[in-house]
């Protein structure tokens, strides 16, 4: 599990993501790094939860396909995911991506407005447009009038909470009965506007690779 959230305001799409790469079998932090894939050719970004390799395979797959603009990318993204699954299998990744959610956000030329789409495995990656999407859920929301600080408060609350996550077993994944901390590394805020993509770290945390969270 990881923290990925998005809020679409009148002039931008705002994404918030953490940076912890977890080993679900033992809950250790395997690595710390940005999970945001920047797609400047579409003035868009994507971020995913679930398996660590999802974002990497999607980015690699997109290097070999072309769309005219962001709206076309959104329409064709389920097919991109299908090709990414096939590509991953060739390199040893499982064909079943388990419980995966992908946020694709950018500037829609057709709407002349920022747009965010969510493609979820439990909806067969069909894709749906969202104004706000928060994972994992806590009792805090994103405030469009104070987006940066509300995004940071949201992730601080996500970091402080524990959640049942998926444990590997027999090559499949099942829900763990015990809660774990799932937000690590840093809080990254990425903003997509009509003309730019910008990203920065709002807060860093003293997590250590190859150790379980304290």
Assigned domain for 194 exists? yes
**pLDDT band at residue 173 under the 50/70/90 scheme:** very low
- Asked if residues 158 and 3 have their Cβ atoms less than 8 Å apart, the reply is yes
Assigned domain for 212 exists? no
Assigned domain for 213 exists? no
CA-CA distances (angstroms) from residue 40 to 37, 83, 144, 150?
10, 21, 24, 26
Q: What is the CATH number of the domain that holds 188?
A: 3.60.20.10
Q: For residue 73, is pLDDT > 80?
A: yes
Q: For residue 74, is pLDDT > 60?
A: yes
Of the listed ranges 64-68, 104-108, 167-171, the least confidently predicted one is 167-171
Over residues 80-87, the mean pLDDT reads 98
Assigned domain for 143 exists? yes
**pLDDT band at residue 22 under the 50/70/90 scheme:** confident
**pLDDT band at residue 41 under the 50/70/90 scheme:** very high
Q: What is the pLDDT of residue 127?
A: 97
Among 82, 172, 72, 67, which Cα is nearest to 125's? Answer: 82
Digit-coded pLDDT (tens) for 189-208? 999 999 999 999 999 999 88
Q: 130 vs 174, which has greater pLDDT?
A: 130
Assigned domain for 211 exists? no
Assigned domain for 81 exists? yes
Residue span of the structural domain in which 98 resides? 4-204
List, in sequence order, every residue forming a beta bridge with 130; answer none if it has no partner: 116
Assigned domain for 209 exists? no
What does the alpha-carbon distance between residue 166 and residue 121 come to, in Å, rounded to a whole number? 15
What does the alpha-carbon distance between residue 64 and residue 23 come to, in Å, rounded to a whole number? 30
User: What is the tally of structural domains in the chain?
Assistant: 1
Assigned domain for 38 exists? yes
Over residues 31-44, the mean pLDDT reads 96
Q: Does the predicted TM-score (pTM) go above 0.85? A: yes
């Amino acid at each position: 599990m990881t923290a990925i959230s998005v809020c679409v305001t009148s002039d931008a799409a705002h994404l918030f993501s953490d940076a912890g790469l977890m080993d679900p079998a033992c809950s250790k932090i395997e690595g710390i790094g940005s999970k945001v894939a920047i797609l400047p050719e579409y003035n868009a970004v994507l971020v995913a939860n679930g398996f660590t390799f999802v974002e990497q395979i999607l980015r690699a797959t997109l290097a070999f396909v072309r769309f005219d603009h962001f709206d076309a990318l959104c329409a064709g993204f389920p097919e991109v995911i299908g090709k990414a699954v096939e590509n991953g299998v060739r390199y040893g990744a499982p064909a079943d991506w388990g419980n995966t959610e992908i946020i694709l956000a950018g500037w829609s030329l057709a709407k002349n407005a920022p747009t965010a789409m969510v493609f979820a495995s439990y909806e067969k990656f069909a894709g749906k447009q969202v104004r706000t999407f928060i994972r994992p859920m806590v009792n805090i929301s994103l405030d469009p009038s104070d987006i940066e600080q509300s995004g940071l408060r949201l992730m601080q609350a996500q970091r402080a909470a524990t959640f049942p996550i998926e444990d590997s077993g027999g090559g499949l994944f099942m829900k763990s009965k015990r809660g774990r901390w799932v937000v690590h590394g840093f809080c990254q805020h990425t903003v997509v506007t009509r003309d730019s993509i910008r990203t920065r770290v709002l807060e860093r945390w003293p997590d250590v690779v190859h150790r379980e969270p304290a």
